[in-house]
Amino acid sequence: MAILRSALLKVYRLARRFGYARLLSLALLAGFLALRVADPVALEELRLRVFDAYQMLKPREAIQRPVAIIDIDEKSLEKIGQWPWPRTRMADIVRRLTEAGAAAIAFDVVFAERDRLSPKIAVDTFRGLDEATQNTLKRLPDNDDVFANALRHAPVVLGESGLPYTVPEPDVKLPITGLATLGENPEPFLLNFPGLLRNIPVLEEAAPGRGLFTIRAERDGIVRRVPIIMMAQGKLMPSLSFEMLRVVTKADTILVKSNEAGVVSVAVPGFQLPTDRNGQVWVYFSKHDMSRYISALDVLDGKMDPDAVRQKLVIIGTSAVGLLDTKTTPLDRVLPGVEVHAQILESALTGSMLSQPGYAIAIELLAAILFSLIIVLLAPVLSPITLLVLGGCVSALLAGGSWYMFSEKRLLIDFTFPMLTSTAVYLTMVFGSYFREQAQRRRIRAAFGQYLSPALVEQLAQSPEKLVLGGEERDMTIMFSDVRGFTTISESFKSDPQGLTSLMNRFLTPLTNAILDRKGTIDKYMGDAIMAFWNAPLDDTSHQIHACEAALDMLDRIDQLNAEREIEANKQGKPFIPLNVGIGLNTGTCVVGNMGSNLRFDYSVLGDSVNLASRLEGQSKSYGLPIIAGSRTAMAAKDKFAILELDFITVKGKTEPEVIYGIIGREDVANSEGFQKLRNLTIQMLACYRSRDWEGALAAIDRARGLDAAPRLKELLELYSQRIAAFQVNPPASDWNGVFALTTK
């Protein structure tokens, strides 16, 4: 038991060292490899869809046209009559094609019954014929004999069809095509049709060749592969298209090569077509083109150009809708079945056959193993971005390699399986890293949660590398807010310190929410004061506007709180002291980051712009306005708010002057008539003031005091009245430019 426990402990330690995510990824890889060997329907469907996409992206270019189609089309049926036509007509077509120099002729139709229009048969259907006429008709040649005689003198391949049921064997022994096998017995791998629909014996005996035109679509109804050899009623049979190659090469035998995995190829002298294990060829389709087609009517009427069929393989079939011989291919929703045979022959004769070699599955398995192992080994030591780039490179390499093999070598190598496998392994490793980081964050929260603020703890948990001192430069908007007359309020609670604490919490909560709701960050609380900033740690391109909105929201929430407190004070019979705040806003370049010592630090902001924001908050009482903003803040927000220029000042401790503004209200206030009049008068007052026109400035002040909106600027107007009175007694220096130096913070 002790030995077992020791062994398990060693395995556990080894597993931890190697990594649970890696072990899970290797198990997942083994499962995917087994899945590919089993090759379920879903995996095959995905593979086929990719091969379809390749053909749609790059269809075969039908530059050479070694195959022609004699089309039993609608106009032929309209002129000659319904199908089947008399065999004498078919004999005429064969003779005309032979005379024109066709290399081989095949029928994508089957003549399974005697011609009902032969004179000996048709005469019995006529009424009113005298005996002499009947005897004359019966002495005429049989249509099937006429057709058979034409077949004997032409390189013709008759079409046959596989049936899903057995049929009786003919009484006479009919010729069959010679097939030889090299290697293993291919029959267990071939498509097997229980029955075989043949032509009538007289035609079978006369024709040089016979082949099956049966095409079996895939599960989704699309034709991608066509059998070149197959089993039909216990016989090994060639396809119609390959039998044409045998006839045109005058070969006696078709050679079938196979091994223990299935069929490898089918060959006649001069042609060897690679097949899948079931004896099927992948058809490389070109786009449907009616220039391949010649109307059967034109052949019979002598309108056919002999060059259209000379030294070509000719297939006789139909595009007529009523005869129901249509197929679906990766390129065409509706394609006459006869053209599928023609495109197989075109691909074979022009050397552009597609193939999926037997080693394709080995390539897919090796690619899946190789790339998955690379990800398993490198994922834990690479950064997320590098790992993502690696995954993209793997995907591009797989897809690009597969496309290259198709477009340049005409080989079908699937990339979806190795990509699925490596993606699954990649995601497993990514989620493994995620869970490992989550565990690390939990450890950080547990270690520092008792010593640091929750916000900083969460920040450290998300980015442990931030446990260092340092900062970054950012363009930011800074806010300082402070309670006016806090000393008086504190004195009213000197016998109730808990009440003062409760009031401050009740006061700071809505102000904090106003800031956070407008994307602000609380830097710190300083008693009754709040310091906040915008555009850090998260980017905020509208930080000036959000800061102004937050400041106005703070005033609204203070008004609501004061209304509630006044009602409460009246009910309790206590004096009511309203809470009022002053707010300073300023925008500028600051340094933001972890500030402090090696033992203790806070995420905070430093810079000259921060100091100016603090000074502006202090001056809100002097100018009698609750919100004062620096010039950069005001200029960025001037189109959204009611803003008034207040002064051109230098604050204590600074020599560089700054234009300051008061934020009076939102856009509705800015658009009001009363504000527009007040704004124009303040502009006029400041212009007169800075040009030393004291009388003009005082006149503007008097007119402003008469406006309905004047109470908002009562203290500002009084401030300038006092300054002007002082300057009238002691004028400023001759080089004075309107700057007023503040002597208090």
Residue-wise pLDDT tens digits, 54-66:
999 999 998 888 9
Collapse the DSSP code of 244 into the 3-class scheme (helix H, G, I; strand E, B; otherwise coil) and give the result.
helix
Over the stretch 580-634, which tens digit does the pLDDT of each residue have?
A: 999 999 999 999 877 766 556 677 889 999 999 999 998 998 999 999 999 999 9
Phi and psi at residue 160, to the nearest 5°:
-130, 165
Structure tokens at 260: 């223990």
Collapse the DSSP code of 624 into the 3-class scheme (helix H, G, I; strand E, B; otherwise coil) and give the result.
coil
How would you class 289 by CB atoms within 10 Å of its CB: exposed for 0-12, middle for 13-18, buried for 19 or more? exposed
Residue 467 is predicted with a pLDDT of: 47
Residue 510 is predicted with a pLDDT of: 92
Over the stretch 280-314, which tens digit does the pLDDT of each residue have?
A: 999 999 998 888 999 999 999 999 999 999 999 99
The answer, yes or no, to whether the previous bond of 537 is cis (omega within 30 of 0) is yes
Phi and psi at residue 169, to the nearest 5°:
-70, 145
Find, among 528, 530, 531, the residue nearest to 489 by Cα: 528
Question: Whole-structure pTM over 0.85, yes or no?
Answer: no
* 714-729 vs 608-623: helix crossing angle, rounded to 10: 90
DSSP 8-class letter at 263: E
Q: How far apart are CA 410 and CA 274, in angstroms?
A: 11
Residue 5's pLDDT band (cuts 50, 70, 90): low
Q: Of residues 3 and 387, which shows the higher confidence score? A: 387
By the 8 A CB rule, do 456 and 560 touch? Answer: no
**Count of beta carbons in the 10 Å neighbourhood of residue 171:** 7
Collapse the DSSP code of 60 into the 3-class scheme (helix H, G, I; strand E, B; otherwise coil) and give the result.
coil
**Amino acid letter for position 534:** W
Tell me the helices (H) and strands (E) count for the chain, helix number first: 25, 27
By the 8 A CB rule, do 667 and 640 touch? Answer: yes
By the 8 A CB rule, do 525 and 508 touch? Answer: yes
Collapse the DSSP code of 39 into the 3-class scheme (helix H, G, I; strand E, B; otherwise coil) and give the result.
coil
Residue 232 is predicted with a pLDDT of: 92
Q: How far apart are CA 158 and CA 208, in angstroms?
A: 8
By the 8 A CB rule, do 335 and 89 touch? Answer: no
Q: How far apart are CA 555 and CA 533, in angstroms?
A: 18
* pLDDT (average), residues 543-559: 96
- CA distances 129 to 121, 122, 125, 137, 473, Å, are 14, 12, 10, 10, 113
By the 8 A CB rule, do 293 and 312 touch? Answer: no
Residue 494's pLDDT band (cuts 50, 70, 90): confident
Listed as own residue / partner, the contacts of 571-575 with beta carbons closer than 8 Å and 24 or more positions apart are 575/492
Residue 455's pLDDT band (cuts 50, 70, 90): low
Q: How far apart are CA 616 and CA 595, in angstroms?
A: 24
User: Is it the case that residue 451 has pLDDT exceeding 50?
Assistant: no
Q: How far apart are CA 531 and CA 573, in angstroms?
A: 35
Q: How far apart are CA 724 and CA 346, in angstroms?
A: 102
User: Is it the case that residue 717 has pLDDT exceeding 80?
Assistant: yes
